[in-house]
Amino acid sequence: MADTAIIGDGPAGLSAALLLAKNGHTAVVFGGDETLMHHAHLYNYLGVPDVGGSEFQRIARGQATDAGARIEEREVTGIRKDGAAFTVSTTEGEQRFDHVILAGGRSAATLATELDAAADDGAIRVDGDAATTVPGLYAAGHLVRPERSQAIISAGDGAKAALDILSKEAGRDVHDWDTPGG
Ligand SMILES: Cc1cc2nc3c(=O)[nH]c(=O)nc-3n(C[C@H](O)[C@H](O)[C@H](O)COP(=O)(O)OP(=O)(O)OC[C@H]3O[C@@H](n4cnc5c(N)ncnc54)[C@H](O)[C@@H]3O)c2cc1C
């Protein structure tokens, strides 16, 4: 089982955390609940016709933590790559992780460029699995699409990153599919 740090607690970060934790992996989300979602009201999120952004966040945070994710309400101030692993720094100290998902909106771009992740016109470059050019480092949501940001796309990006980590750890392609009745 892998340890993943998720920098950002908006839809992108919480979606990644939910899938990882639900599958038994350690998922630690860093963020102070300052997402843009608190300024939004969603009428365009498929399957959820009408929900306030803050209410969406309340539900999403509960869903991720109920699945076993941990949310640490602090800012990440730096990330270092030590071989294949990452050291994440906050004001409270340092923690090591196998993978990092950057989902912190525009303000997390500096963390990506400090790790030498490639960017195009300020948007962090990712492949179809949300992987950056740095092995083990993913980027999702508003951070990779600053001018075309939607909550549902951020949640999808986070899910892509999580599925890629789950697949790499399992050594085969992984879905997270459930059926009626659990
Ligand atoms: C006024 C307004 C209305 C909107 N209306 C809609 C709408 O109707 N429908 C829709 O789909 N979208 C809407 N949006 C856009 C939507 O809010 C964003 O698409 C969505 O919030 C992006 O999610 P995200 O997870 O990518 O990033 P964000 O929501 O930006 O979350 C990033 C989080 O990471 C945290 N963070 C950043 N850096 C760090 C760090 N170093 N350490 C720890 N935490 C960090 C931030 O504080 C933030 O909480 C609206 C936005 C605004 C501003």
**Per-residue pLDDT tens digits for 91-150:** 999 999 999 999 998 888 899 999 999 998 878 999 999 999 999 999 999 999 988 999
What long-range pairs does 108-117 form, CB within 8 A, spacing at least 24? 108/7, 108/8, 108/139, 108/143, 109/143, 111/7, 111/76, 111/78, 111/79, 112/137, 112/139, 112/143, 114/78, 114/79, 115/79, 115/81
Has residue 1 got a pLDDT over 80?
A: no
| Index of the ligand 1 atom closest to the CA of residue 90 | 42
Q: Could you tell me the distance, in angstroms and rounded to a whole number, from the CA of residue 37 to the centre of ligand 1?
A: 5
Q: How confident is the model at residue 179 (pLDDT cuts 50, 70, 90)?
A: very high
Measure the CA–CA gap between 70 and 120, rounded to whole angstroms. Answer: 32
CATH topology of domain 3-170: FAD/NAD(P)-binding domain (3.50.50)
Sort 125 into a burial class: Cβ within 10 Å, 0-12 / 13-18 / 19+.
middle
Measure the CA–CA gap between 161 and 126, rounded to whole angstroms. Answer: 10
State the pLDDT at residue 157: 98
Q: Per the structure block, which two tokens stand in for 3? A: 């340890």
| Index of the ligand 1 atom closest to the CA of residue 8 | 34
As a whole number, the mean pLDDT across the chain is 95
Q: Could you tell me the distance, in angstroms and rounded to a whole number, from the CA of residue 31 to the centre of ligand 1?
A: 11
Domain regions of the chain by residue span: 3-170
Q: Could you tell me the distance, in angstroms and rounded to a whole number, from the CA of residue 26 to the centre of ligand 1?
A: 23
State the pLDDT at residue 167: 98
Please name every residue paired with 60 in a beta bridge, in sequence order, or none if there are none. none
Cβ < 6 A, ligand 1 pocket: 7-13, 30-32, 34-37, 39-40, 42, 44, 75-76, 103-105, 107-108, 141-142, 149-152, 154
Segment 28-63, tens digit of pLDDT = 999 999 999 999 999 999 999 999 999 999 999 999
State the pLDDT at residue 105: 87
Q: How confident is the model at residue 181 (pLDDT cuts 50, 70, 90)?
A: confident
Higher-pLDDT residue of 77 and 107 is: 77
State the pLDDT at residue 51: 98
Measure the CA–CA gap between 29 and 130, rounded to whole angstroms. Answer: 17
Among 17-26, 62-71, 116-125, the least confident range: 116-125
| Index of the ligand 1 atom closest to the CA of residue 33 | 49
SS3 81: strand
Q: Could you tell me the distance, in angstroms and rounded to a whole number, from the CA of residue 153 to the centre of ligand 1?
A: 11
Sort 4 into a burial class: Cβ within 10 Å, 0-12 / 13-18 / 19+.
buried
- To the question of pTM greater than 0.85 for the whole model, the response is yes
Has residue 78 got a pLDDT over 90?
A: yes
